[in-house]
Structure 1
Amino acid sequence: MTSLEASEGGGAQSPAQPQVPLSAYVDGYARARAIDRHAADNYVAHTRIGDPVMDAVVEDLAHLPQREVHKLIHAGMEEDHACLRDAPQSLRDFFIDAPQPDPDWLDRDALQPGIRAFQRNSVLVLSAFVTGVLIDGFSTLISKSFAMTGRIFENGVWRLKQNNRHQMEIFLPRGLERYGEGWKLSVRIRFVHAQIRRLLGRTAEWEHDAWGVPVSAAHLGYSVACFAARTVKHSESLGARYSTEERAGFHDVWRYAGYLMGIPETILFTDEAHALHMYRIGSICEPPPTEDAIVMTNALINSAPLVANITDLTERRKLVNNVIYPISRGLVGNDLADQLNFPRNRRSPFPLLAYRIDQRIQRLRAAFGKEGSQNFGTLLEASAYDAAGLSYRLPDHAHDERGGKW
């Protein structure tokens, strides 16, 4: 059975044999296989795999108007049996009739140290996420999926705020319990990814033989490994501190969130060491950053001040050029930064040290009653909280500018 047949049949192939890589992965796969044959085979196999369960659900919802989709998914999130009575059977199965059980490895008590670590280091974690982790992720071919939809260009600030909110919610106490907002947001992301996969996969411009499945399981497994392991590493570079127990708990939170997002366990990391290894092998398998990756990562960097409500053009440019780009280069390294056309840092030879000093000064100012930026209100402002509540509408067109609001 090929990996594509495995994806259609609902399970990932065990990569016991060498894979036939997609054309974009030929060179990287050969290099990665020389380091770890099994991990490279596994990564390349998953470039052809999506999320068979959720892909079937969104296909069954495709004929319904957006307001009805929102109503049904909302009913599923709340386990409203009456509202789901006439829903497609695949949606009923997902939420009511045959729901996915918690994995055997989930230990909710083990999440708590990671939650406490996030609460203590939240500003540093979110800063590291924007300036380092997202850059790591979008330097891969996943950038093609997001660039083609155009959402990051039309709604880049909202996208970053949604990322912030998701992290805020999964790292709140009880956030990943069945009715927690972190649980709901993680499952919502699973719906959105499946719908984007469906829409992009049917466009003429998507090159299946080169890139595989849009928003593939390989890219999602790689991304959540970055969200966990690279966030810890980058936030430590910015001054965050974690105990051994907190590091493990932080990874456990992201592992479970990834599970809820529909990432097959065959490409979902198990602990920090595994996540770092997945990041290394995935980075080698991936081709060098494409033009889409260059455009995407630079757009993210330039959107960051707007997330913090800094709208003055001069102030934005100063922050981007003098702070954000240097910090990002310091986190991801000169090689990747050069490939992404990030400007060279000519102002401060030690941008990460300067950032850590600035953060300490702000903490001292806050301790002495002076105004400081590290507070919960600031994080709320930089997150996508809407008085209307969560929307469960799904994209209705492959290109965001041609679709409806969702």
Structure 2
Amino acid sequence: MTRRRIIPSLEPRKEVGRRGLHSLERPLSAYVDGYAKARAIDRHVADNYVAHTRIGDPVMDAVVEDLAHLSQGQVHKFIHAGMEEDHDCLRKAPQSLRDFFIDAPQPDPDWLDRGAFRPGIRAFQRNSVLVLSAFVTGVLIDGFSTLISKSFVQTGRIFDNGVWRLKQNNRHQMEIFLPGGLERYGEGWKLSVRIRFVHAQIRRLLGQTEEWEHDAWGVPLSAAHLGYAVACFAARTVKHSESLGARYSTEERASFHDVWRYAGYLMGIPETILFTDEAHALHMYRIGSICEPPPTEDAIVMTNALINSAPLVANITDPTERRNLVNKVIYPISRALVGNSLSDQLNFPRNRHSPFPLLAYRIDQRIQRLRAALGREGAQNFGTLLEASAYDAAGLSYRLPDHAHDERSSKW
């Protein structure tokens, strides 16, 4: 059978060029001011970013629409069968799901070179504590200061399951940066594709609610926001983790971005808004940040909730210890990473505890590495990483939310 390539269809009045997708429409109302500023710097990238605010993931959006009439148990069964290429079970699944996994799967991109992942994997393993620390204190703050925060705040999941969400983020990173993690049957591959299903389902559910303002915000979890997010996950993680003491060779930096580029591809980000290398990711982050409006109340709520959830991820539940960690360590480090301007917009408290939070953190990490070298804490540090990640003995669940608001959704 000849395999056809599934290519995301584009909305009317859009055209695809060699360098991306251009909008011929007026930007959404929330983006008017930022778009004008960004366009003065780089017209092409600004046009491309704003065009993608109206686009989701046409392929997966169609799949979850076809799954909508099924129970969560049936959805889990069919998606699990697809992940494992269980042809017999998939015979009863909707055709679009069979196409996605078996009959007409999206082929590997021409640029994919799994062998190029090895230096990035080594760098992650060596710097894993610093990478995950940078992710919580800097990268997620960069990402959720944008309108993407609205999708998460409106579902309410960050409040009821904020700790679990951070642990899921940690697990996804650990799995994509394990040897073989992004092979077809690797856990990193499966988690990335699972995220694609979840995003499409939330996009469908939120898009049907009365409170979602399509004319102002575009589609929930738009391709623009996901392209921006994965650029942050790669480029801003390297930058912020270096500020915390991580070190990367030139080869490792490029490879780290290769891993995240392919993970983003698996997550359904159109190649028209998926970064190609570190320089491109940083430029996308810059122009996207300018296009985005100033942080909204949702962004303020979201970022502060994430920071206050961080100690719970490490199983620090004592109220006094947790409060001290948040106020004396996490907030000062986050402010140092993302800068005073953004921190002030997000209502982060001023740093009154440590004049040099990044230096203090780097010194503490060096002490811990020395102890690990002496055989005192190496296993403990790895165990802490596992505890801070969403590993469940029951295995991966492919259930999808069945209501836009988390408190009204069945467990998934």
Instruction: Give TM-score, length-normalised by structure 2.
Output: 0.95
Alignment pair present for 1:130 and 2:136: yes
How far the C-alpha of 1:86 sits from its partner, in A, is: 1.3
Q: How does 1:101-250 map to 2 (within 5 A)?
A: 101-250=107-256
Distance 1:10 1:229 in 2: 25
- Unaligned residue ranges in structure 1 (runs of 5+): none
How far the C-alpha of 1:10 sits from its partner, in A, is: 11
How far the C-alpha of 1:199 sits from its partner, in A, is: 0.1
Question: Which runs of structure 1 show a deviation greater than 3 angstroms over 4 or more consecutive aligned residues?
Answer: 6-19, 369-374
Q: Structure 1 residues 93, 4: closer, same or farther in 2, change over 3 A?
A: closer
Deviates more, 1:358-367 or 1:131-140: 358-367
Where 2:87 maps in the other structure, the secondary structure is coil
Whether contact under 8 Å (2:203, 2:219) holds in the other structure is yes
1:48 maps to amino acid: R
Distance 2:86 2:17 in 1: 29
1:135 maps to amino acid: I
Which position in structure 1 is the counterpart of 2:5? Answer: none
How far the C-alpha of 1:5 sits from its partner, in A, is: 2.0
Q: Structure 1 residues 96, 321: closer, same or farther in 2, change over 3 A?
A: same
Distance 1:403 1:9 in 2: 38
Distance 2:410 2:16 in 1: 31
Which position in structure 2 is the counterpart of 1:349? Answer: 355
Aligned match for 1:370, one of 353, 368, 376: 376
Alignment pair present for 1:80 and 2:100: no
Where 1:266 maps in the other structure, the secondary structure is coil
Whether contact under 8 Å (2:15, 2:21) holds in the other structure is no
1:147 maps to amino acid: V
Instruction: Give TM-score, length-normalised by structure 1.
Output: 0.97
User: Percent identical across equivalent pairs?
Assistant: 89
Distance 1:363 1:252 in 2: 27
Distance 1:37 1:76 in 2: 41
Whether contact under 8 Å (1:56, 1:90) holds in the other structure is yes
Deviations 1:174-219 (A, max 9, x none): 0000000000000000000000000000000000000000000000
Which position in structure 2 is the counterpart of 1:334? Answer: 340
Alignment pair present for 1:89 and 2:95: yes
Deviates more, 1:31-40 or 1:357-366: 357-366
Distance 1:14 1:365 in 2: 49
How far the C-alpha of 1:8 sits from its partner, in A, is: 10
How far the C-alpha of 1:14 sits from its partner, in A, is: 5.2
Aligned match for 1:273, one of 279, 295, 300: 279
- Unaligned residue ranges in structure 2 (runs of 5+): 1-8
Distance 2:235 2:287 in 1: 14
Deviations 1:121-141 (A, max 9, x none): 000000000000000000000
Distance 2:377 2:225 in 1: 41
Which position in structure 1 is the counterpart of 2:72? Answer: 66
For these two proteins, the number of residue pairs brought into alignment is: 404
Q: Structure 1 residues 281, 363: closer, same or farther in 2, change over 3 A?
A: same
Aligned match for 2:399, one of 358, 380, 393: 393
